[in-house]
Structure 1
Amino acid sequence: MKLERQTKVINRLGLHARASAKLVKSAGRYTSSILIGTDSETVDGKSIMGLMMLAATQGTTMTITIEGEDAENAMHDIVGLFENRFDEHE
C-alpha cells in the first residue's frame, strides 16, 4: 500500500534535532519505506541527518509518502507527531 499526505510543521522551533529524533524513532518502528519532504527536497524519514538538512521551519508544508504493509499505522503515528507539535509545549 502507498499513502501520501501533506501536513504543516506547527511547532515553534520547526523540525530541529529533538523533533527529528522523535520522528526517526517513530519511523524506525515500521518496515515501510518513509519519505518526508518539502517543495525542494525529499529525504528518508528514517535518517536524522536527512530530516535536519530539510531545515523545515514553522509553517513549512511537508509531504509524507509511505509505502509498505504497515503504511497506514506509520502514517497515523507520523502525522500525529506533527499535529501534536512533537510533544513540545510552547
Structure 2
Amino acid sequence: MNPRHVAALALAGWYLMTPPIIEKAGGYEADFNAPISRWSVNSPFDAASECRAVNGQLVLEQKQRLDKAPIHSLDWAVAQRLVTSQCISSDDPRLKGN
C-alpha cells in the first residue's frame, strides 16, 4: 500500500450518522432518501470498530422504543432514525454533497 494511503487512512475518523426527520401527512418519519450530506452526526469516533459497537447497541435499544411508540409520532420517528443510523468514514465523499 502506498505510504500516502496509509497516512490518509490513519487520519480518517468515523461518524455515527442519522437521517433527518421530516413531517409527512400530519406525522413524522425518518427521511431515508435524504443524501448522506444532509444526515446528522450523532457521535464521532476514532475507529470503525468503536462506531459499529455503539451503533449495534443503539439499534437494539431503539428497536424496543420503536415497537412501543405510536406510529408517526415524534418519538417513533426519533427511534426510527436511530435504528437506521450508519457508521460513515469522515472522508466519505458523500459528506460533501453537491
TM-score, scaled to structure 1: 0.29
The structure number with the bigger radius of gyration is 2
